[in-house]
């Protein structure tokens, strides 16, 4: 298996003083689907930014596709060559779609990447058409991205990445703010991409999706270190770990392998529909 990302003792601090990552050592192999989980501020977004070579380690080493990535350049092949290789291989779906969208129509937005690649116009057209269909956003093609709903913006953002057909997908809190049906759709999309052999790294604190979209979960602690790096199922069934990582609170209970979120609002505790099911299907 080829190693996509290899971090060795990577630390990162903003403006040299705000710690965001501490001593991160991990490898991600081609075709893996990995969740990065942890509470607010634990360092998930910073870790994705390192993986996307948007920022560089303050200390330690980051290798992507077996090349050492540094601010000054890449070691084995020429800078520009590697940079464009890296950018075609790795796609990033930002948490905030507004930073990803800038064109005047959805069509132009999605065509932008392929046009940058100097593909023939027919190829660009057919790629955009395929992605519009796959994402079920054909009817939005002439809309201005900025007038779309949050869920529609998210779909367009994902489309702008998928149209480039990257091997590696990085997603930052992709399910945040989506309605339940769109969340389910996203989960199924990520499963499908995983089955197609994509390497997918998803930062999330949505415990409901991680077992469905990843077989491995890396838990970031509030001290910005990796707390645990294990199979998703065993992470989800470890209540003490989730509690101490601030991923559940003490009103969240474990029933067998399931974490149940008890809704205490309006005195309707333990109501059938107030349960968050995690890990597997469970019928009451």
Ligand X SMILES: Nc1ncnc2c1ncn2[C@@H]1O[C@H](COP(=O)(O)OP(=O)(O)O)[C@@H](O)[C@H]1O
Residues of this chain that bind ligand X (CB under 6 A): 14, 18, 20, 38, 40-46
Contacts of residue 280, defined as CB under 8 A and 6 or more positions apart, other chains included, come to 211, 257, 258
Backbone angles phi, psi at 187, to 5 degrees: -60, -45
Query: Of the candidates 138, 281, 148, which has an alpha carbon nearest to the alpha carbon of residue 212?
Result: 281
**Residue 14 binding target from ligand X, Mg ion, none, CB below 5 to 8 Å by type:** ligand X
CA dist list (Å): 73 to 16, 84, 219: 21, 13, 30
Question: Nearer Cβ to ligand X, position 45 or 191?
Answer: 45
**Residue 148 binding target from ligand X, Mg ion, none, CB below 5 to 8 Å by type:** none
Instruction: Give min distance, CB of 108 to Mg ion, in A.
Output: 28
Supply the DSSP string of 183-225, one letter for each residue. HHHHHHHHHHHHHTT-EEEEEE--HHHHHHH-SEEEEEPTTSS
CA distance 14 to 22: 12
Question: Nearer Cβ to ligand X, position 58 or 182?
Answer: 58
Instruction: Give min distance, CB of 110 to Mg ion, in A.
Output: 25
Instruction: Give min distance, CB of 46 to Mg ion, in A.
Output: 8
CA distance 140 to 188: 21
Question: Nearer Cβ to Mg ion, position 91 or 113?
Answer: 91
**Residue 160 binding target from ligand X, Mg ion, none, CB below 5 to 8 Å by type:** none
Instruction: Give min distance, CB of 269 to ligand X, in A.
Output: 30
Question: Nearer Cβ to ligand X, position 14 or 102?
Answer: 14
**Residue 216 binding target from ligand X, Mg ion, none, CB below 5 to 8 Å by type:** none
What is residue 116's three-state secondary structure?
helix
Instruction: Give min distance, CB of 202 to ligand X, in A.
Output: 12
Contact 155, 93 (CB under 8 A): no
Q: Which two tokens stand for residue 163?
A: 């149209």
Instruction: Give min distance, CB of 209 to ligand X, in A.
Output: 16
**Residue 214 binding target from Mg ion, ligand X, none, CB below 5 to 8 Å by type:** none
Question: Nearer Cβ to ligand X, position 22 or 127?
Answer: 22
DSSP classification of residue 141: T
Question: Nearer Cβ to ligand X, position 38 or 166?
Answer: 38
Question: Nearer Cβ to ligand X, position 33 or 204?
Answer: 204
**Residue 20 binding target from Mg ion, ligand X, none, CB below 5 to 8 Å by type:** ligand X
CA distance 103 to 146: 9
Which residues contribute to the site for Mg ion (CB under 5 A)? 44-45
Strands 3-14 vs 168-172: parallel, antiparallel or unpaired: unpaired
Q: Which two tokens stand for residue 51?
A: 């993986």
Supply the DSSP string of 60-91, one letter for each residue. EEEEETTEEEETTEESSS-HHHHHHHHHHHEE
Residue nearest to Mg ion (CB): 45
Instruction: Give min distance, CB of 247 to ligand X, in A.
Output: 11
**Residue 38 binding target from Mg ion, ligand X, none, CB below 5 to 8 Å by type:** ligand X
């Amino acid at each position: 298996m080829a190693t996509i990302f290899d971090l060795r003792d990577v630390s990162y601090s903003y403006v040299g003083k705000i710690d965001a990552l501490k001593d991160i050592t991990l490898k991600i192999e081609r075709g893996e689907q990995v969740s990065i989980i942890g509470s607010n501020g634990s360092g998930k977004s910073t870790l994705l930014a390192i993986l996307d070579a948007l920022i560089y380690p303050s200390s330690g080493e980051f290798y992507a596709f077996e090349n050492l990535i540094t601010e000054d350049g890449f070691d084995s092949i020429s800078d520009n060559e590697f940079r464009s290789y890296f950018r075609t291989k790795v796609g990033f779906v930002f948490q905030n779609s507004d930073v990803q969208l800038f064109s005047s129509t959805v069509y132009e937005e999605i065509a932008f990447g392929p046009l940058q690649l100097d593909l023939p116009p027919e190829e660009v057209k057919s790629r955009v058409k395929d992605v519009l269909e796959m994402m079920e956003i054909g009817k939005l093609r002439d809309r201005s991205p900025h007038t779309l709903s949050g869920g529609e913006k998210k779909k367009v953002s994902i489309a702008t990445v998928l149209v480039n057909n990257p091997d590696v997908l990085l997603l930052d809190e992709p399910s945040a703010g989506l309605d339940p049906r769109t969340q389910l759709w996203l989960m199924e999309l990520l499963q499908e991409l995983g089955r197609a052999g994509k390497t997918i790294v998803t930062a999330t604190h949505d415990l409901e999706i991680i077992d469905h979209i990843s077989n491995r979960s890396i838990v970031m602690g509030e001290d910005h270190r990796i707390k645990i790096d294990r199979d998703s199922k065993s992470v989800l069934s470890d209540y003490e770990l989730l509690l101490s990582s601030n991923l559940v609170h003490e009103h969240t209970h474990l029933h067998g392998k399931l974490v149940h979120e008890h809704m205490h609002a309006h005195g309707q505790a333990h109501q059938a529909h107030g349960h968050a099911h995690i890990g597997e299907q469970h019928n009451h």
